[in-house]
Chain A
Amino acid sequence: KNEVEQSPQNLTAQEGEFITINCSYSVGISALHWLQQHPGGGIVSLFMLSSGKKKHGRLIATINIQEKHSSLHITASHPRDSAVYICAVRNTGNQFYFGTGTSLTVIP
């Protein structure tokens, strides 16, 4: 049983489309993280959330603690957004559980 489930696993979009990636989790958490990993590249932390909503440029992350669900939205998607997006949750003991990632390809 995975503590963190992401959907979809793979996503292809046309440039300019609005994209949503979903994350559901089953453990009690102190925070949820969205990470980005480019092919052959390192990992970058995009957001850390414990409640509500955060926005950085074209990226928006929301979390609903009661429903144990988070979404990552990308507005006006661009080919440079092509990457694997990973949802991770931190429990109160500072242990992390990771989703398997969503591979996003944005086509020009």
Chain B
Amino acid sequence: GAGVSQSPSNKVTEKGKDVELRCDPISGHTALYWYRQSLGQGLEFLIYFQGNSAPDKSGLPSDRFSAERTGGSVSTLTIQRTQQEDSAVYLCASSLWAGLYEQYFGPGTRLTVT
């Protein structure tokens, strides 16, 4: 079956512009996670959804970051007024349910802010 997909795979944007990153989870997976991996740094947890709700948004780096999920499926991560430090690979993962279930990762979106 289809895995987690993300689009675009690469995005180059100018500083100050807004960007939207999309994640399509595995069908039937109710939990969806967003992570960031900056160059030379480790993975950073951003936010997770159980269904359409995000119980905790404290992992988002700043108020320029927002995420939503509608219909319990596709999620978008929006970064407003992008800064160079936002350059990273943004990874999405899904699992059957939030909790003790395996996560399946998407290929990521490489964001470069110039």
Contact = CB atoms under 8 A, between A and B. Distances in A.
A binds B: yes
B99 A45 contact: no
A88 B59 contact: no
Q: How large is the interface on A (under 10, 10 to 19, 20 to 34, 35 or more residues)?
A: 20 to 34
Q: For chain B, what secondary structure do more than half of its interface residues adopt (helix, strand, loop), or is it mixed?
A: loop
Nearest to B107: A42
Secondary structure class of chain A's binding surface, majority of residues: strand
Nearest to A97: B45
Nearest to A42: B107
A43 B92 CA distance: 10
B36 to A, nearest CB: 11
Given A94-B98, A95-B48, A97-B45, 16 more contacts: A30-B100, A33-B103, A42-B105, A42-B108, A43-B91, A43-B93, A45-B103, A45-B105, A48-B100, A86-B42, A94-B56, A95-B58, A96-B33, A98-B42, A98-B44, A98-B45
Nearest to A95: B45
A94 B103 contact: no
A108 interface: no
Interface residues of B, number: 26
Interface string A41-79: 011110010100000000000000000000000000000
Contacts of B45: 95-98
A88 B35 CA distance: 12
B57 to A, nearest CB: 11
Nearest to A86: B43
B65 interface: no
Nearest to B43: A98
Contact of B55 (A42, A43, A94): A94
A31 interface: yes
A31 B41 CA distance: 23
A96 B43 CA distance: 9
